[in-house]
């Protein structure tokens, strides 16, 4: 994804030199020490990583406001850091705890390496034991359902990139039409850590759909979606119908006070209430106008809702559901399928864009679908 340079966050050379000079004093406050460290790290971190580091350090310094950097250069300092990690992240996922530990280890290590403090209080703290990753995938039948139920060209292209090539949500949000190169059948994506990756798109359907769309290069594949409220057509007629249903419901409730009539009217009353709900949905839909901003990318939450609308159309989840079948499952599905079909871990790593092959080797365990197919052959 294209992230503009954070020029407003870069201090002047004079300010930077002054802060670094003060950092040589172990008796500066922990807040000042963290501020200096964050400035020094800006040349090493992406804006997204920088925000993550700053959130963890800001929380740490706010919890220990007034303490000096030198206060952590002791056995008590180790206990203070460990207690903070336990209180903040002890009940969360191990990787969250380890992220906090990693940031604080790096922070104190930066000063220890410069001999400002004699020891790194976070270095002796043991990381949390990582749990095995449970990678969930979609079955082949679910993949077919999703693709056949979402006919719009933009949706088709996006879903194929997710389910067949395993791109991440952030990379999908950043795709513009100019990133597709028909002459070489390539797609350039900007993915995690501000890295770019080139994918060989051998799915002919994607190129056919792109020819059908013929969008300007600077337009996004999934543009920003803007919803605006308006007065629905036939508003007076809809209001009159709603009032009539309200009157009918009240009449039925009064009649249902008679025990004999209650049994007979129960089904009618249920049907009437369902009709009212459908009317409310219809009115709300008619009162909502959806517009798109093609030169702006869809937001993170917008992409989340788009995904679940796609699953809802396919019947993979109930319509209106917004949790339970994450978009990242499509990435697991694509990578697992490559490993199951080819057994080539290096190829899977290249398509997935994993920096470390150890991440890809987690997919070497056969999928449930492949296990089932193999056992059918064995039992036959």
Tokens found for residue 82? 């460990």
Residue 116: strand pairing partners = none
295 SS3 class: strand
pLDDT of 289 higher than 80: no
Residue ranges of the domains in the chain?
7-113, 140-228+291-379, 231-286
Token match 């920003």: residue? 224
15-51 tens-digit pLDDT: 555 555 555 677 889 999 999 999 888 888 877 788 8
Instruction: For 193, list phi and psi in degrees, rounded to 5.
Output: 75, 20
At a CB cut-off of 8 Å and minimum separation 6, what does 85 contact? 97, 100, 101, 104, 125
- How high is the pLDDT of residue 5? 44
The CA distance from 325 to 368, in Å, is 17
Least confident of 191-195, 242-246, 258-262, 321-325: 258-262
Q: Quick one: pLDDT band at residue 222, thresholds 50, 70, 90? A: very high
- How high is the pLDDT of residue 277? 73
pLDDT of 165 higher than 50: yes
- How high is the pLDDT of residue 194? 74
CB count, 10 Å around CB of 236? 7
Quick one: CATH architecture of 140-228+291-379? Orthogonal Bundle (1.10)
The CA distance from 302 to 297, in Å, is 10
The CA distance from 171 to 192, in Å, is 8
The dihedral through the CA atoms of 109, 111, 117, 122 has a sign that is: negative
- How high is the pLDDT of residue 8? 44
pLDDT of 327 higher than 90: yes
Q: Quick one: pLDDT band at residue 378, thresholds 50, 70, 90? A: confident
Q: Quick one: pLDDT band at residue 175, thresholds 50, 70, 90? A: very high
Least confident of 121-125, 192-196, 364-368: 364-368
Q: Quick one: pLDDT band at residue 219, thresholds 50, 70, 90? A: very high
Query: What is each CA distance from 380 to 53, 87, 129, 369, in whole angstroms?
Result: 56, 55, 42, 17
Higher pLDDT, 377 or 64: 64
Q: Quick one: pLDDT band at residue 263, thresholds 50, 70, 90? A: low
Q: Considering the entire predicted model, what is its pTM? A: 0.66
- How high is the pLDDT of residue 274? 74
The CA distance from 232 to 245, in Å, is 19
pLDDT of 352 higher than 60: yes
């Amino acid at each position: 994804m294209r992230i503009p340079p954070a020029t407003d966050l870069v201090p002047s050379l004079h300010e930077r030199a002054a802060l670094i000079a003060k950092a040589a004093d172990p008796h500066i406050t922990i807040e000042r020490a963290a501020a200096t460290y964050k400035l020094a790290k800006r040349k090493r971190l992406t804006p997204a990583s920088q925000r993550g580091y700053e959130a963890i350090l800001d929380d740490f310094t706010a919890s220990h406001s007034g303490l000096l950097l030198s206060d952590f250069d002791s056995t008590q300092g180790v206990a203070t850091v460990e207690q903070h990690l336990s209180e903040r992240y002890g009940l969360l996922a191990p990787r969250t705890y380890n992220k906090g530990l990693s940031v604080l280890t790096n922070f104190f290590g930066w000063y220890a390496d410069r001999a400002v403090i004699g020891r790194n209080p976070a270095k002796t703290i043991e990381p949390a034991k990582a749990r095995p990753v449970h990678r969930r995938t979609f079955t082949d039948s679910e993949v077919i359902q999703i693709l056949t139920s979402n006919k719009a060209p933009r949706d088709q292209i996006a879903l194929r990139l997710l389910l067949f090539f395993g791109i991440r949500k952030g990379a999908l949000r950043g795709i513009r039409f100019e990133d597709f190169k028909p002459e070489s059948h390539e797609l350039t994506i900007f993915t995690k850590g501000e890295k770019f990756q080139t994918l060989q798109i051998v799915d002919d359907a994607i190129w056919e759909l792109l020819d059908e769309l013929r969008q300007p290069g600077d337009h996004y594949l999934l543009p920003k979606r803007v919803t605006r409220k308006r007065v629905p057509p036939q508003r007076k007629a809809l209001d009159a119908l709603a009032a009539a249903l309200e009157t009918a419901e009240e009449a039925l409730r009064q009649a249902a006070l008679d025990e004999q009539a209650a049994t007979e009217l129960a089904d009618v009353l249920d049907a009437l209430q369902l009709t009212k709900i459908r009317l409310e949905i219809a009115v709300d839909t008619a009162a909502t106008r959806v517009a798109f901003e093609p030169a702006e990318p869809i937001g993170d939450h917008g992409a989340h809702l788009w995904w679940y609308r796609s699953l809802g159309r396919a019947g993979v989840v109930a319509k209106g559901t917004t949790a339970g079948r994450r978009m990242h499952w499509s990435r697991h599905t694509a990578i697992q399928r490559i490993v199951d079909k080819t057994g080539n871990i290096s190829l899977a790593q290249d398509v997935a864009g994993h920096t470390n092959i150890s991440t890809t080797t987690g997919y070497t365990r056969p999928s449930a679908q492949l296990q089932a197919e193999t056992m059918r052959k064995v039992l036959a």
